[in-house]
Structure formats: structure tokens, C-alpha cells
Amino acid sequence: MHPRRQFLQAALGLTAIAPWRSLQAQDLPWWHWPLEQRLAQLLMVGFRGADLRADDPIVRDLLVHRLGGVVLFDRDGRNIRSPQQLRALTRPLSALSPTPLLIGVDQEGGRISRLKPRDGFPNTVSAQSLGQRDDPVQTERAADAIAQTLADNGLNLNFAPVVDLNSHPDNPIIGRLERSFSADPHQVVRHAAAVVRAQQRRGIISTLKHFPGHGSAWADSHTEVVDVTHSWSAQELIPYAQLIQAGYRDLIMTAHIRNARIDPRHPATLSWPTLTGLLRQRLGFRGVVISDDLQMDAIAQHNSPSEALIGALNAGVDLLLIANHRPYDPDRVPKTLAILRQAIVDGRLRLSRINAACARVLALKARYRWPVH
């Protein structure tokens, strides 16, 4: 029997494992890992299938390439069908990974929820509904229930809370979907802090999104470039500034929006002035910057895959999110790693940038009780 198949079959029977302690990669400090393994820590990629087989590409991505994270969906080759099925998927994913694996999902509550009641998961409440009640204690209880569901089903990262302001209730991707707590930045801070507290208590990594603010947009960056130059307000930075000042160091997700008041040339995801100049240097963020999905049209229609990947890293992104829907490619991970390796050879990416991003990603994992040498 092929050794990978043997390993997978063994992993499927495990109830608990600390793979980073049992496999050879962790015998060396991370800065001595081969370049490809460091690059792979900067990738969080989607895959198809609700179960694992030994010949699945994701098994190769974990065992050979040592992928840093995966994102799960309830559509397009869905990964989520029921609680029992999801636990049977996440357990071997974690067991197969030689390094601590980020397993993330969008579970904001309300309409943006990948774990749906139709599939046997608890009902959830939207951020807008919680904001209208304006009781942070109740928000924390709601967030705790979501975090418990994620933890019970083997997930460790939530792409929430949204800290965009509800500046335009008709915004097609924020306001209309009830994803914002409020138009008042201070109210957003109170409720976002409650969500972060609840998630941290359950061991779930949080994600503030979408920096530097998507709430004032009139269009959807999933389908087009969104320009907020004339609608954006500096008030949209208040949730980030106050939460960072309070010690927040998990994830902040970028927005694929253009704001010429910050950078006249690039959307935020590809903008050094936005991510490094504003978020890192001015606001003092010390955690991990994650891109929104780099296959969204706002990026993919105007940049080649290499331009998007290299541009995001050079701008200050640490973790590259690739949903792998548009189109699906079973070889997405090795192809992405090849692009990044060549960019280093060509001088378009600096090794110091890769090492800094890798250090942040691994420090985040270590803070959540996943020891990394």
C-alpha cells in the first residue's frame, strides 16, 4: 500500500493528534525550513469535496507542500453537508498537516453563514439585528454560540466580525446583507469586541474586515472594481484603530476597493500605502494581514495571478486567501508556490518579506496554543 494512503487511513481513525510534534518538519526552527514550506504557510486555499481520499489533491497539498490553511464552503464542490460529515472532514485534515493547520469559514451570522440550519447547524443572528438591539452582552452570547459550533466541528478560524460601517444601507454586499452592526463606529467597536472575546475564549481566531472600510461602497467587489474615493470617511478606520489599541492581534482582512485618497494607483489589497503605511505604521497593527479572495473579479479581472499574488505580498499581505472557485484547479497550490518561488528568483519578491509574513502567521498559530518551534 502507498505510504500516503496508509497515513490517510490511519488519520481517519484518530480522535486527536498533535501532528506538529510527530513529523520531521518541526525538528528544525521554522527559519531553517525549506523555502517552499515557508511559502506554503502564507496560503489559505479552498478545495473540493466533503470527505478525504488518499489521492485527493488536498492530501498532497498538506503532506508534500505543507499548506498553511484551508477555507471551507457550502457551495461549488461543497465541503459542508452536516455536522457529522464536517467533523469527519476536519479531523483528518488537521491530523494530516505536518504544521498547525488553519481551517477557516465565513460564519458571520445571518445570511453570511456557511454552516446553515438546512444542514443541521444552529440558527444564527445577523450583525445588523444584534446592532439594533445594542446589547454587547447579547452579542457576546450569540458569538459564543457560533464559536462553540465552529470548535465542536473542528474549525479554528472565523472570517468575522465585520467592522464595516453601515454607511449606505443599500450597499449590495454589506448593508443589504445585514452584515454591519451599525453606522456608528463606536457601536461597531463595542459589538466587534464582544465577538472577538467570545471567539478567543473558544480558541477561534477572529478576522476584522474589510480594511480600510467597505461600508460606504455602492457596488460589490466580487463582480467589479469598487471606488470609494468620494464616499469613504476616516471614521471607517475607528473600529480598527480602537481594537488594535486594545491589543487585537489576530487577522485583518483587506478590501478589494479603490480609494484614491489613500492610494491613487492600487486597490487596498495591492496597496503598500494602505496596508503597510496606514495599517502597520500608522495604526500599529502587529497581527496577520489576510487578503480577501484573490479570485474575486475586482482583482482577477485586472491582474494576472502572478501580479495579484506578488502585489499583495509586497503591499503587506501575510496570508493569501484563494477560494479556488474561479476556476477550480486541483493544482492551485503547487502552481501558486511555483509563481512565488520564481518571483523570489527574479527579484520581484524579497526573502525578508516572506520570512516576516511566515513569522506572523506562525506566531498567530502559537498564540492559540499550537506550539511552533
* Active site residue ranges: 222, 292
Secondary structure string (H, E, C) spanning 80-94: CCCHHHHHHHHHHHH
Q: Give the C-alpha separation, 367 to 89, whole Å.
A: 24
Residues 6+ apart with CB under 8 A from 127: 108, 109, 110, 161, 162, 178, 179, 180, 181, 191
H helical segments located in the chain: 3-12, 19-22, 35-40, 57-63, 83-96, 127-133, 136-152, 185-201, 238-245, 272, 297-300, 305-315, 332-346, 351-367
Q: Give the C-alpha separation, 337 to 13, whole Å.
A: 31
Residues 6+ apart with CB under 8 A from 126: 108, 109, 110, 111, 177, 178, 179
Q: Give the C-alpha separation, 254 to 96, whole Å.
A: 29
